[in-house]
Amino acid sequence: MKAEDVMNRNVIYATLPNTRDKVLELFKKYEISAVPVLKNDKLVGIVTRKDILRKVEEDQLALLMTPNPVTVQVGDSLRKVVEILANTQFRRLPVLDGEKLVGIITLRDIISQIAEMDIDRPVRDFITDSTVCVWEETPLNLVGEIMRLSNSELCPVLNENATVVGLIDEKIMLTETLIEEFLEQKAYASSSDSEDSWMWDSVRDYTVKYFEVSVVKLPKEPVKNFVKDAVFVYPQTKVTKCAREMVKNDIDHIPVLDAEDRLMGMIHDRELIKVLLEIEI
C-alpha cells in the first residue's frame, strides 16, 4: 500500500502572500486545523492553529507558517508514512508528486484505514497508563488550566463514583471563533492608551501552550455541560473496533476501562497506528 492509496486528494491550502485572517477563514469553513502553504504552485510551508496562537502579534502568513515541512512522495510506502507519524509530533504529512502538492495524510486518515481492516490484535499493548482526568463539577475554565498545564488534548470526565461520564477535548475547548475573538480583543487593547502591558505580556508568554486563548475566555460552568458522550474500549477490544470507535466519535484518543469499569489508561492515535508496523501492508 502506498501513500497515494490513503491520502486525501482534496487538499485545502493557502497561498503566499496572505494573512492570518485568510487562514482562519479556511479553518472555520472546512473545519480543519492546518493547511499547507504554496507559493508559485510549490509547497513552502504549513500553518496550524497552534502556530497562530504562538504568534498572536503576527498577521503575515509567511511569518506564521512553519517552512519546509516534512513530506512524503505519492509512491512512498504506507509503512514509511506510519513510521514518520508514529515517531514525531507531526499529525499530518503533505504528499508530493515530484514538487507538486497532490494530497495530505493525517493521523485520522491512518486510523480510518485501520478501521476498514480486520486486525484482531487486542489494544492492551497500546495503552498509555498515565492520563489526566477531571471531575464533572469542575468549572470549565479550570479544566482548561489543567489541560494546558498537563499538555493534554483530551481528558476523561469522572463523576463522584470515579465512573467515566464523558470526554472533553481541545476541539471543544478551542475554536476558531474563540481565536478570532481573542485576536480582536488583543488588537483593541493594543490600540488603547489604557493597555495593561503586563497583562498582555503574560498572555504572550503562555501562548506556546494549547489552551491559552480558551483559558482566557472559558466560562465557569461545570465541565459536564460541555462534554462529549462517554465512549471507551476494554483491553481485549480488537484494534479495528477501537479505530472504528475513534472515527465514529470524532476523537483522537479513547479511554480504556478494566473489568470493573474503572479507568485504566488511554489509547492514543499515534500509538495505535504502530500496529501497522507489525503486519504486511
Q: Which residue would you say has higher pLDDT here, 170 or 273? A: 273
pLDDT tens digit sequence for 213-254: 444 567 788 999 989 899 999 999 999 999 999 999 999 999
**pTM to 2 decimals?**
0.80
Q: Give Cα separations from 79 to 67, 180, 186, 227 (angstroms).
A: 25, 38, 44, 35
Provide Rg for the chain, Cα atoms.
Answer: 20
Q: Look-up: residue for cell 486518515?
A: 109
Residue range 95-99: mean pLDDT, rounded: 97
Q: Comparing 21-25, 55-59, 159-163, which segment has the lowest mean pLDDT?
A: 55-59
Residue 16 has pLDDT above 50, yes or no: yes
**CB of 229 closer than 8 Å to CB of 165:** no
Q: For residues 34 and 174, which has the higher predicted lDDT (pLDDT)?
A: 34
Q: How is residue 78 written as a grid cell?
A: 504506507
Q: What is the pLDDT at residue 240?
A: 97
Give residue 188's pLDDT: 52
Three-state SS annotation for 208-246 = CCCCHHHHHHCCCCEHHHCCEECCCECCCCEHHHHHHHH
Number of Cβ within 10 Å of residue 68's Cβ equals 10
- Determine the length of the chain: 281
| Cross-strand pairs, 263 | 257
Model pLDDT for residues 209-220, shown as the tens digit of each residue: 444 444 456 778
pLDDT over 90 for what percent of the chain?
64
Please report the pLDDT score of residue 137 as a whole number. 97
pLDDT of residue 6: 95
Q: What confidence score (pLDDT) does residue 19 get?
A: 93
pLDDT of residue 209: 41
Q: How confident is the model at residue 33 (pLDDT cuts 50, 70, 90)?
A: confident
Percent of the chain with pLDDT over 70: 83
Q: What domains are there in the chain, each with its CATH number?
A: 3-115 (3.10.580.10), 123-173+220-278 (3.10.580.10)
pLDDT value at position 31?
84
Highest mean pLDDT among 69-73, 129-133, 173-177: 69-73
Report the pLDDT value the prediction gives residue 194, as an integer from 0 to 100: 40
pLDDT tens-digit profile of 138-197? 998 888 888 878 888 889 999 999 999 999 987 776 554 455 565 565 555 544 444 443
